[in-house]
Chain A
Amino acid sequence: MDRIPILKLEDVLLVSIQVDMHDQLALTLQDDLTQKIVTTRARAVLIDISALEMVDSFMGRMLGNIASMSRILDAQTVVVGMRPAVAITLVELGLSLPGIRTALNVDAGLAVMREVLARRDEPANGE
């Protein structure tokens, strides 16, 4: 498998990483997602990593890059489903994923996303 599928659900791009990714696959996903944000005009990206048995510094950086790139393209990213053992290891590794919004599962992630998007759409008060 040399590509991770990206699904579009209304204005959300949904990615579920189900394979042990080699680095090139992670880079391809990063490129594909940024392209797809633009072509679909998605406003949010939800990345499910519940199947990932480990996240090392390379994957951590890839997730951070996706979050930053989507922000620049006016889309919000939420990473969901991180396994507890992965979270413990990441912190011990010295990687706390700053700037990445997370949620426990896809449902919670979608709720977070709706909230963020709603807040952003509120007209500025008192101007």
Chain B
Amino acid sequence: MASDLETFPVRNGEDVVRARQIVRSRAMEVGFSLVEQTKIVTAASELARNTVIYGGGGEMHVERVYGGPKRNGLRLTFEDKGPGIADIDLALRDGFTTGNGLGLGLNGARKLSHEFDIWSKPGEGTRVTITRWK
């Protein structure tokens, strides 16, 4: 059983793989179906990569959440103290990228989640929180 809030470093490519594995095992513990697990693991992979590439590394927080007596979910927060995002609306558009990716990461993670929250301030960093309910 996952404790309520856990924190993991997200600093390099191997941490991205580890983040996927942690999210997979927590999603199984929450009782997500295989498709639900795959969706949240994929969203986590996109966000973890963003944390490394654009944020210069940061942390992932994993939290099991309870939305009601029978409603369990998983909430993931990716946080960095990198350069931040100047225009969040633009960054959320499919195809927008300042790196050399497809520009599907951020919006892709949003599409694969039930709740999505982003905070970013130029010069201070970025925090993205996603929640997926069972």
Q: Of the candidates B37, B38, B41, B108, which one forms a contact with A94 in the assembled complex, judged by CB atoms under 8 Å apart?
A: B108
A95-B34 contact in complex given A56-B42, A56-B45, A56-B46, C-beta closer than 8 Å: no
User: Does B112 interact with chain A (Cβ within 8 Å)?
Assistant: yes
Interface residue? B107 (CB, 8 A)? yes
Contact residues, B12-67 vs A (CB, 8 A): 13-14, 16-17, 20-21, 24, 34-35, 37-39, 41-42, 45-46, 49
Interface locus among B72-80, B81-89, B97-105, B119-127: B97-105
Flag whether A40 is at the interface (Cβ < 8 A).
Answer: no
Among B20, B49, B94, B102, which residue has its beta carbon within 8 angstroms of that of A54?
A: B20
Q: A93 at interface (Cβ–Cβ under 8 A)?
A: yes
A72 within 8 A of partner (CB):
no
The distance in angstroms between the C-alpha atoms of A57 and B102, with both chains bound, is 7
- Cβ of A60: which chain B residues have Cβ within 8 Å of it? 102
* Chain A residue, CB-CB nearest to B13: A22
- Please indicate the chain A residues that have their CB under 8 angstroms from the CB of B105 in the complex: 56-57
- Segment from A3-11, A31-39, A84-92, A108-116 that makes contact with B: A84-92
Instruction: Give Cα A92 to B5, complex, Å.
Output: 28
Q: How many residues of A contact B (CB 8 A)?
A: 23
A interface SS class: helix
Chain A residues numbered 66-116 whose CB sits less than 8 Å from any CB in chain B: 83-86, 88-89, 92-95
Mark contacts of A37-59 with chain B using CB atoms, 8 A cut-off: 1 yes-contact digit, 0 otherwise. 00000000000000001111110
Asked if B114 is at the interface (CB within 8 A of a chain A CB), the reply is no
> B107 contacts which chain A residues (CB < 8 A)?
94
Interface pair B39/A92, CB less than 8 Å apart: yes
Known: A22-B16, A53-B24. A58 touches B39 (CB 8 A): no
Q: Is the CB of B20 within 8 A of A20?
A: yes
With contacts A20-B17, A57-B101 known, is A93 near B42, CB below 8 A? yes
Not counting A22-B13, A57-B104, a sample of 10 additional A-B residue pairs whose C-beta atoms are within 8 angstroms of each other reads A55-B42, A56-B45, A57-B46, A83-B38, A88-B35, A88-B38, A89-B38, A92-B39, A93-B111, A94-B94
